[in-house]
Amino acid sequence: MSTEMTTRSVVLADAPARTARRSKRPPHGHSHLLRRESRGAWLLLSPYMIVLVIVGLIPIGYAVVTSMMRAPTPVDPTSGFGGFSSFVTVFTDYRFIQTFLNIFAVLIIWIPIMMIGIVGMSLLVHASPGRFGSTMRFLYYIPAALAGIANLMLWVYLLNPSQSPIQGFWNLLGLTSIKAVVASPGHLPFILTAMLFFQGTGTWIVIVNGGLNGISDEVLEAARLDGAGAWKLAWHVKIPLIRPWVGYAALMNVAYGFQLFLEPQLLDQVSSNAVADQWAPNQLAYAFAFSNFNFPAAAALSLVLLVITLAIGMVIVFRSGLFGDEEH
């Protein structure tokens, strides 16, 4: 990643995170204050913890129990304890590897484009002073407001050669029906990249821009005095300082990519069922539950996805530095 390669020499005194984590123990006499802070933290977190238990931990527990059951089949409609057989069913399913390959194909194309887009456009917005910059930030954000179905409807319109404003482009590729555009082998990762980029970039520009706004004027001024132009300022000062936000954006997008469901599912419908029903791992879990009526296998695959996304979450928290405490 480009941010890893940046020169760190100009990162000044208030550099975030990692180093700050090794802060000293507080003086002994502050233990009373600590207890109060701790109580306060629990109080503030309690509504969230309640929701977490209801929509997170209980379903996970339920999934763990379900995954240990044996699924009824047309041969044997009884069920009972099945040990790890559901996990075996999942790992040996003929679609399991393909669904992950499909996701990797999307991630390999989408994530680099997404990150260059986010960082590049954030820097442009930040470098544009006054009303112009804030107007651009707002304009970039508009597509993000077209979430979910609205975004899909827009894309159905764009992807359909018979009505699309980019009809010429599709004709140039020899594509005359939405089925050919969506379902031709190899097209889907590019279409999903376009959809996800369009839908997601605006939100992340706002977030990364928040990081850029946090850079103190003294730092930028010092760099300018050292002779840094706009390009050097962006490359050697701004990007290293927003590294935690960029890392956070990258990993959250990877996590989102692993959970793709809505987009391939709906593209399947607009192309008259010509996309594989089990294109992404989440769709495979859905198929286990509702095509095969194999809820234990669906639960097992959900747990596999949970482990992957939790691992990504851990990396975000412990490696990006965004959640590190800072000493002022």
Least distance to another protein from the beta carbon of 244, Å?
12
Nearer to another protein, 7 or 176 (CB): 176
In terms of CB distance, is 193 or 294 closer to another protein?
294
User: Least distance from C-beta 325 to another protein, angstroms?
Assistant: 4
Q: How far is CA 148 from CA 36, 188, 263, in A?
A: 43, 17, 8
10 close to 223: Cβ distance less than 8 angstroms? yes
**3-class secondary structure, 80:** strand
CB of 132 to another protein, least distance (A): 34
The H or E element spanning position 52 is helix 31-52
Q: Which is nearer to another protein, 102 or 302 (CB)?
A: 302
* Nearest to another protein of 209, 271 (CB atom): 271
CA distance linking residue 231 with residue 108, whole number of Å? 27
Burial class (CB in 10 A: 0-12, 13-18, 19+), 96: middle
Spatial separation of the C-alpha atoms in residues 222 and 219, rounded to whole Å: 5
Nearer to another protein, 93 or 237 (CB): 93
CB 291 within 8 A of CB 93: no
Least distance in angstroms from the C-beta of 97 to another protein: 13
Cβ at position 125, least distance to another protein in Å: 25
